[in-house]
Amino acid sequence: MKKKISYLLASIVTLLVLGFLGFFIWSQQTYEPSEKLYTLIDKKEIKQEEDWVIFNPKENNQIGIVLYPGAKVEPEAYSYYGKQLADEGYLVAIPNVNLNFALFDSNKAQEVMDSYSSVNKWIVGGHSLGGVVASKFAHSHPKEVVGLFFLGSYPDEASDFSNTNLPILSIYGEKDGLSTKDKIQDTQQLLSKNATMHEIKGGNHAQFGVYGPQKGDMKASIPVKKQQDEMAQTTLTWIKENKY
């Protein structure tokens, strides 16, 4: 009997180890920035500080932005978008996350905030799974977060903002094959009374970053630069309209 139990335990441990190793290897097969990114932004402008990609504004208006990356997407892939926001005076941090999944590093925004104590107001957001994590952080830190944005993403049921006035921006793509329009609409009731919805015509899921095609997505009918520029302009307009 003891031998059977020992064998069973050894088998379970082996399966767990193999499962973790398989997940680890899979998690390291990331979506890297495509060569297109470096036609949009000088590689020298992409800088790592602490444990995140950082874009410092020339003139800081005391507002910081934390952007959680999508699952298995390297943070550098959002550099063109981040740089455009920084050019308008906002500090932008795009964190590296454990095992390339923001869910395993949901408190990363707090680390960024603690590192830039001179910043008075913080906006958090994210792409895909990163948006889910950003919404969790915003929901649990209502005093620290003054705005929340989604890029091809939406909150889960645990992050219900329907009874709040938190400024929320949801940017979604017409041809997003992963965070589909149906999913965006089905979760819209979880957003606040102060939510802004913006559809990018012809935009898809992968072009919320600059890393090339993504499995399960649809093909965009607009260039990645057009989608990125519309994202940035929509975000900047939203920030200014809310007079932070």
- If pLDDT is split at 50, 70 and 90, which confidence band does 1 have? low
For residue 99, pLDDT over 90 is answered with no
What pLDDT, on the 0 to 100 scale, is given for residue 128?
Answer: 98
What is the rounded distance in angstroms from the CA atom of residue 84 to the CA atom of residue 237? 12
Residue 66, Cα to own-chain centre: how many angstroms? 8
What pLDDT, on the 0 to 100 scale, is given for residue 243?
Answer: 79
Evaluate whether residue 100 is within a structural domain. Answer: yes
For residue 23, pLDDT over 70 is answered with no
Q: Can you tell me the mean pLDDT for 115-140?
A: 97
Evaluate whether residue 204 is within a structural domain. Answer: yes
Please tell me the least confidently modeled range out of 22-31, 44-53, 111-120, 137-146: 22-31
Q: Can you tell me the mean pLDDT for 99-108?
A: 91
For residue 220, pLDDT over 70 is answered with yes
Instruction: Please identify which residue in the block is written with the tokens 């999913």.
Output: 183
For residue 232, pLDDT over 70 is answered with yes
CA distances from 228 to 13, 46, 150, 198 (A): 46, 17, 14, 13
Q: Which helix (H) or strand (E) holds 94?
A: strand 91-95
Evaluate whether residue 53 is within a structural domain. Answer: yes
| pLDDT single digits (tens) 158-207 | 999 999 999 999 999 999 999 999 999 999 999 999 999 999 999 999 99
What pLDDT, on the 0 to 100 scale, is given for residue 59?
Answer: 80
What pLDDT, on the 0 to 100 scale, is given for residue 25?
Answer: 41
What pLDDT, on the 0 to 100 scale, is given for residue 4?
Answer: 56
Evaluate whether residue 29 is within a structural domain. Answer: no
What is the rounded distance in angstroms from the CA atom of residue 176 to the CA atom of residue 208? 10
Per cent of the chain over pLDDT 70 is 87
What pLDDT, on the 0 to 100 scale, is given for residue 215?
Answer: 94
In a 13 Å sphere around the CA of 82, the CA atoms on its Cβ side amount to 32
Inter-residue contact 152 to 178 (CB < 8 Å): yes
Its domain, for residue 193, covers: 46-241
Q: Cβ neighbours of residue 115 under 8 Å, at least 6 residues apart?
A: 50
Evaluate whether residue 20 is within a structural domain. Answer: no
Where residue 235 sits, what CATH number does that domain have?
A: 3.40.50.1820
**SS3 assignment for 9-64:** HHHHHHHHHHHHHHHHHHHCCCECCCCCHHHHCCHHHCEEECCEEEECCCCCCCEE
Write the single-letter amino acid at 125: G
Evaluate whether residue 73 is within a structural domain. Answer: yes
Domain count, the chain: 1
What pLDDT, on the 0 to 100 scale, is given for residue 164?
Answer: 98
N-term to C-term CA, the chain: 68
What pLDDT, on the 0 to 100 scale, is given for residue 29?
Answer: 60
Evaluate whether residue 212 is within a structural domain. Answer: yes
For residue 153, pLDDT over 90 is answered with yes
Instruction: Round the average pLDDT of the chain to a whole number and report it.
Output: 91
Taking alpha carbons only, the member of 33, 82, 18, 12 closest to residue 54 is: 82
Evaluate whether residue 167 is within a structural domain. Answer: yes
